[in-house]
Structure 1
């Protein structure tokens, strides 16, 4: 019997979607962890706020937002 609508999705396509989704979650969380550890080590009172900012920006604008807040932290927050 011939398939009417082509191949059934869920093989390699689903794997790619899951890997990209995990990447877009792990990168902001990893950057937030680094920012928190660095800010805590430097005695910054706002370490938690910087880390939350990285995660939120990473979820709103994946990768670009997290990297932008990371750059802002490096330029402003490390002083």
Structure 2
């Protein structure tokens, strides 16, 4: 966030007179994007935590790593999300057995 603000300050000093946006608009866009990425990161982290807990994986590590990277570096977070889908176990230990296979008599 600090890097974004410093870039905006630098951009403000070099804005041409006919630039279509003022500094307040650029700040508002950066704040909205920060909130959007935070919500996406929290959502991804929460979903990974719940899914990993059902599957018996290390849920806290996956949730913090994937959610944090999605918020901070969006492309890396997406790569971690794909890696989670590849690495996670296929079945949950708490899934009920299929009634036709279990042979309920």
Pair in the same fold by TM > 0.5? yes
Alpha-carbon distance in structure 1 between the residues aligned to 2:89 and 2:46: 15
Does the 8 A contact of 1:58 with 1:66 survive in 2? Answer: yes
Is the counterpart of residue 21 in structure 1 residue 55 in structure 2?
no
Higher radius of gyration, 1 or 2: 2
Quote the residue 1:9 is aligned against: 23
Runs (4 or more) in structure 1 with deviation over 3 Å come to none
SS of alignment partner, residue 78 of structure 1: coil
Relative contact order higher in (CA < 8 Å, ≥ 6 apart): 1
Question: Aligned-pair distance for 1:59?
Answer: 4.2
Structure 2: runs of 5+ lacking an equivalent: 1-16, 91-105
Question: Aligned-pair distance for 1:58?
Answer: 2.4
CA deviations on 1:6-31 (whole Å, 9 max, x unpaired) are 68632x33221111111122212211
TM-score, normalized by length of structure 2? 0.57
Structure 1: runs of 5+ lacking an equivalent: 1-5
Does the 8 A contact of 1:36 with 1:47 survive in 2? Answer: yes
Quote the residue 1:66 is aligned against: 77
Is the counterpart of residue 55 in structure 1 residue 64 in structure 2?
no
TM-score, normalized by length of structure 1? 0.72
